[in-house]
Amino acid sequence: MSGDQSKAVIGNFFEDFTVGQEIVHATPRTVTRGDASIFIALTGSRFVLHSSDAFAKSVGFREAPLDDMLTFHFVLGKTVPDISLNAIANLGYAGCRFGVPVYAGDTLRSRSKVLGVKENSDGKTGIVYVRSTGWNQRNEMVLDYFRWVMVRKRDLSKPAPDPVVPDLPKRVEIRDLIVPKGLKLARYDAELAGSPALWEDYKAGEKIDHMDGMTFEEAEHMMATRLYQNTARVHFNQHVEKDGRFGRRIVYGGHVISLARAHSFNGLANAFRIAAINGGRHTAPSFAGDTIYAWTEILEKAEIPGRKDVGALRLRTIATKDRDCAGFPYQTVTAEGRKSYDPAVVLDLDYTVLMPRRIKAAKAKSAGKRRPRPVKKAKRGAKGRKRRR
């Protein structure tokens, strides 16, 4: 065989990562309205901010920004060929902050820094900790997160590196959340957004069953994953996976997050912005044919310093497969006191959303009637409202 395999890459293995290493990921991506449409076609997401230019303008955005999950998928997708092509397991996310909103036409690129490496006792695998950041073409941060994955060693004879385990943020602090610049909620129309429930109406400990279930197909999860140019092989190659651990292609965990977020509209329609992902675990793999349900617990309710019009809700959203969430399935405690996930659970996501506040919004609204309105920014929306009522 005269093949020269130096040009085709097989991705980095555990021993290829060193602490401090910086990786520029290839294939920057200009995001488009086409991506937004495909995302809706694959998830059915109904959050109005991402659906309507008129609505987005009415609350201070230039136009409808891309769904926050799309930003997440694009930035993460770029990192896969370098970070997780040989990953056995995607162990977790932490400290994930969303930066400036992403609009169609923006070009996103990603970079990662290796923060830690720790070989496993089996000598065959190790854990790699990275911090990855996504930017737009103006070098504005769009996403910043920590992630750790279990990666295979290629050369088992290589000695284990000195273990470095970085201190990962337990959560994104409320003061570190980024509120989109120019956000004005005075004219936020909850009726068009789909629910009267605003920040004041939620309380910590409250649980919401999002009710809808959605079955996914091979074509769908593969289209989603390819859209993000995420190349992880386990999602695409049935010829190999038929002999693998599950006998099937595994659904990209991020697609499950997309579905759970889309389901959460039913109960959290005004959670217009994901500001942070504090932590996330894919507790079990999902496959084509699974039906995904979700429920959410309000973990915490927080004011945002300096803002009377918008508040934060820290949420735990649990996604399940082939089991509805009327009973809020989560964890069970074994006889030995160990917690384990209900077998139906596939995702445990701890994240923080922004939501309009009622009282101040109402005040601003009446105030707005006295002040002359900025005509250029949201003329159409304003006219629409006047005539519609």
Q: Are 294 and 263 in contact (CB under 8 A)?
A: yes
Provide the 10 A C-beta neighbour count for residue 165: 12
140 counts as binding its own copies under rule CB under 8 A: no
Provide the 10 A C-beta neighbour count for residue 77: 25
Q: Are 150 and 126 in contact (CB under 8 A)?
A: yes
Q: In angstroms, rounded to a whole number, what is the distance separating the alpha carbons of residues 348 and 243?
A: 28
Which residue among 237, 247, 362, 374 contacts its own copies (CB under 8 A)? 237
Q: Are 319 and 347 in contact (CB under 8 A)?
A: yes
204 counts as binding its own copies under rule CB under 8 A: no
Q: How far is the CB of 2 from its own copies (least distance, A)?
A: 6
> Minimal CA–CA distance to 60: which of 352, 266, 364, 363?
364
Q: How far is the CB of 50 from its own copies (least distance, A)?
A: 9
Of 115-123, 124-132, 144-152, 190-198, which part binds its own copies (CB under 8 A)? 190-198
Q: In angstroms, rounded to a whole number, what is the distance separating the alpha carbons of residues 195 and 189?
A: 9
Scanning residues 152 to 171, which ones bind its own copies (CB under 8 A)? none
Q: Which is nearer to its own copies, 44 or 343 (CB)?
A: 44
Which residue among 266, 299, 301, 365 contacts its own copies (CB under 8 A)? 266
CA 40 to chain centre: 15
211 counts as binding its own copies under rule CB under 8 A: yes
Q: How far is the CB of 187 from its own copies (least distance, A)?
A: 14
Scanning residues 3 to 62, which ones bind its own copies (CB under 8 A)? 3-10, 24, 26-30, 32-38, 40-48, 51-55
208 counts as binding its own copies under rule CB under 8 A: yes
233 counts as binding its own copies under rule CB under 8 A: yes
Of 94-102, 118-126, 172-180, 223-231, which part binds its own copies (CB under 8 A)? 223-231
327 counts as binding its own copies under rule CB under 8 A: yes
Q: How many residues does the chain have?
A: 389
Interface mask (CB under 8 A) for its own copies, residues 279-308, using x and -? ----------x-x---x-------------
Which residue among 113, 328, 343, 365 contacts its own copies (CB under 8 A)? 328
Q: In angstroms, rounded to a whole number, what is the distance separating the alpha carbons of residues 372 and 385?
A: 16
192 counts as binding its own copies under rule CB under 8 A: yes
Q: How far is the CB of 127 from its own copies (least distance, A)?
A: 25
Of 250-258, 303-311, 326-334, 348-356, which part binds its own copies (CB under 8 A)? 326-334
269 counts as binding its own copies under rule CB under 8 A: yes
Of 145-153, 173-181, 264-272, 309-317, which part binds its own copies (CB under 8 A)? 264-272
66 counts as binding its own copies under rule CB under 8 A: no
Q: In angstroms, rounded to a whole number, what is the distance separating the alpha carbons of residues 274 and 93?
A: 15
375 counts as binding its own copies under rule CB under 8 A: no
191 counts as binding its own copies under rule CB under 8 A: yes
> Minimal CA–CA distance to 312: which of 189, 204, 196, 207?
204
Q: Which is nearer to its own copies, 262 or 364 (CB)?
A: 262
Q: In angstroms, rounded to a whole number, what is the distance separating the alpha carbons of residues 277 and 280?
A: 7
> Minimal CA–CA distance to 329: which of 210, 246, 162?
210
Residues 6+ apart with CB under 8 A from 235: 221, 222, 225, 249, 250, 251, 252
2 counts as binding its own copies under rule CB under 8 A: yes
> Minimal CA–CA distance to 278: which of 10, 94, 6?
94
Q: How far is the CB of 34 from its own copies (least distance, A)?
A: 3
231 counts as binding its own copies under rule CB under 8 A: yes
Size of the site for its own copies (CB under 8 A): 106
Q: Are 346 and 20 in contact (CB under 8 A)?
A: no
Q: Are 346 and 282 in contact (CB under 8 A)?
A: yes
